[in-house]
Amino acid sequence: MTPDHTQHTVQTPSAQQPAPTSGDKAEQLHDHKAMQMPDDKTATSGALMEHQTAQWAHFANMTLGLWLITGVFALEYRSTALQASDAASGALVIILSILSLSHRPWLKLWAPWTTALVGLWLLFAPLVFWSPTSAVYANDTLVGALVVVFAILAPGMPMAPGMSMEPGPDVPLGWSYNPSSWPQRAPIIALALVGFFLSRQMTSFQLQHIASFTDPFFGDGTVRVLTSDVSRAFPIPDAGLGAVAYMIEFLMGFMGDKARWRTMPWMVTFFGILVVPLGVVSITLIVLQPLAVGAWCTPCLIAAAAMLVMIALTLDEVVATLQFLVQARREGQPLWQIFWQGGTLHETPEAAAVTVRLDLVSPAAMVWGVLLPWNLLVSAALGLWLMLAPFALGSTGTATHSDHLVGALIVTVAIIALADVGRAVRFVNVLFGAWVIVAPWLLGGATASATWNDMIAGALVILLSFPRGTVGERYGSFERFIR
């Protein structure tokens, strides 16, 4: 995650720029062509060709709808409600896919999106009706995901009538890289799959499709967590809810173009809400397992780790979108319209610009905007140690629970702060460090060695939270918030 500065140079203002080289001229010519608006005839012809090219995806969804209907007779459901749901969903997918082929603009807009909603329902249906068989759960999950893909991803995102994608830059103003590029999305998509596969396995156990679940580190810990009163309090399998969330994150990773931070602010915002705040809540619930259940769950912890890294990798795109909305509003553009339809900035400040990185398909390009400052890595290590210290130092009672919970939260904050745009979050660990220092004196169960350990660890966490560490990229006007 170390920065590559080979292309990280700063351009001077236009009045002082040296004569461009041949390479610079080629780049300027490319940018000029990219900014040109097509004429009406070309746009109409392109839209018609795009519509005709996308038709195969709707025919594919018709086939999936037929698969659902015939599957009612081919699969062992053992649930009349789920059987009826799949039959109705299949019929809706067929009807809506036919309507999606219409040349009428309003049908081309709402029919694909409604089809996608049916696909999302198929992800939830086996959980809502507690599917008695694994075949139906797997079938609905796979078909639901494919319906979303063929409805709005493969043919392109449906847009409102009269809406055209306004040309503009791929890179946010003043930024040195594009946070919406495909290399930037790749690790997020991969981590969402990891979380989905783990959650699906746990869901199969909760639905009683498999009789046992072996935990490689905590014995029967996973079984105790999945069968606890906390899990049973949910109306649907809570692991299945996580699986649906990870699948939606996986699919949303493919949505939009490489400039979706400005062309689809609504989508990036919802994606950010799904990953960041909901991810933090999910991680907190997982680390509460020892307190509520008295056991750890290995696949839960791995899924939480995947979600934690996703948060750090997603923050930059969310910040770029919010920054764009603020700048567009300052220009007087209607915020609500820009939020839903996207756009571009019309007033570019007369200031120095940053030479941007190319969207290279490489491991380094996947983690631009995320570094590994030593102080944050040590903070994360201290958080992990606090989680394990009660076992090593013999603490009991509420002091143990405090170390488990606050240690995990220190790790969470440190990992999120690895993102350049989230670096200021590290100051939250000052509060957690202070609590670690005083907790042994306020809570029962801490041994003498555990008390000294908490005081030293808490003080170190506080001290390590002040150095900012290296920031490897440029972020325009947002840089003043990176402290």
Residue 391's pLDDT is 85
Please identify, in words, the CATH class of the domain defined by 178-344+357-368. mainly alpha
Q: Is 449 helix (H, G, I), strand (E, B) or coil?
A: helix
CA angle 456, 457, 462 (to 5 degrees): 100
Give the bridge partners for 175, in sequence order.
475
Over residues 81-97, the pLDDT tens digits come to 999 999 999 999 999 99
pLDDT for 35:
40
Q: What is the pTM of this model?
A: 0.84
pLDDT of res. 349: 62
Domain range list for the chain: 49-159, 178-344+357-368, 374-481
Q: Which residues lie closer than 8 Å to 244 by C-beta, 6 or more apart? A: 123, 124, 127
Q: Give the burial string for 128-150 (b: 16+ CB within 10 Å, else e).
A: ebbbbbeebbbbbbebbbbbbbb
- Residue ranges of the chain with per-residue pLDDT less than 70: 1-53, 159-165, 348-353, 359
pLDDT, residue 353, reads 65
For position 31, what pLDDT does the model report? 43
Sequence-ordered list of residues with C-beta below 8 angstroms from that of 264, at least 6 positions apart, any chain:
157, 255, 256, 257, 342
